[in-house]
A and B are shown apart, each in its own frame.
Chain A
């Protein structure tokens, strides 16, 4: 691997992880706003928030683990 790419790789993967986490959080905030503003059933809106947050947390944890694995190469 090119030494320059190898040196900047940890920074690139951390930047991708940070952007993904920010996007997930921002979309979550927008969706939560929509669910609570427009849904007719508060329980369904709350359940949607819980499911979205849980699955997003799991997927972001997986991405974080992969990011750490690459950054520690």
Chain B
């Protein structure tokens, strides 16, 4: 069913998707575009009423509107898929970040708790503070793992606390 293979004794602590407000923002802005044919009809009626005398004007406008709505629907399906397949899983052993960049472009990153050095929470504007979501920057000690950034995380403070709680259970790295 999915490509994430957990270890036999691995326990999932948190499973997170981006905050719903990000999906709502993208969905509403795309849905607003669906009204473009109506706006176009109104503009034509005001600016160039002679076009309404064009033979079969309504049939052409219906065809164009139906085609436009279909395009909007396809865009919505892709937006929802991107949202649904973006996932972060915090287990008792590691953090798994799944980033669905586009169709057939998927990035799965894992960070071991014993490599985590610092977890930074960023809530950078009014909307993020009001809806309680933000960015989580995770800095690791490993030169190969690199750092991880989780954007649009709901309740980032709670997530940071959960990550730090798991990290503190692990033995520290010996230098």
Chain A residues within 8 Å of B, Cβ to Cβ: 1, 13, 16, 20, 23-24, 27, 30-31, 34-40, 42, 44, 48, 52, 55-56, 59-60, 62-63, 65-67, 69-70, 73
CB pair A34 B63 closer than 8 Å: no
A interface, by DSSP: helix, strand, loop or mixed? helix
B interface, by DSSP: helix, strand, loop or mixed? helix
Asked whether any CB of chain A lies closer than 8 Å to the CB of B170, the reply is no
Chain A residues, CB < 8 A from B2? 37-40
Measured as residues with beta carbon below 8 angstroms from the partner, the interface class of chain B is 20 to 34
Chain A residues, CB < 8 A from B1? 36-37, 39-40, 42
Q: A1-B55, A66-B59 are in contact. Are A52 and B77 (CB under 8 A)?
A: yes
Chain B residues within 8 Å of A, Cβ to Cβ: 1-4, 15, 55-56, 59-60, 62-63, 65-67, 69-70, 73-74, 77-78, 80-81, 84-85, 87, 98, 100, 103-104, 106
Write the chain B residue with the least CB distance to A44: B84
Chain B residues, CB < 8 A from A34? 81, 85, 100, 103
CB pair B103 A30 closer than 8 Å: yes
CB pair A37 B3 closer than 8 Å: yes
Chain A residues, CB < 8 A from B84? 35, 39, 44, 48
Write the chain A residue with the least CB distance to B61: A66
* Chain B proximity of A3: nearest CB distance (Å): 13
CB pair B66 A59 closer than 8 Å: yes
CB pair A59 B70 closer than 8 Å: yes
Alpha-carbon gap, A30 to B106, bound state (A): 14
CB pair B59 A69 closer than 8 Å: yes
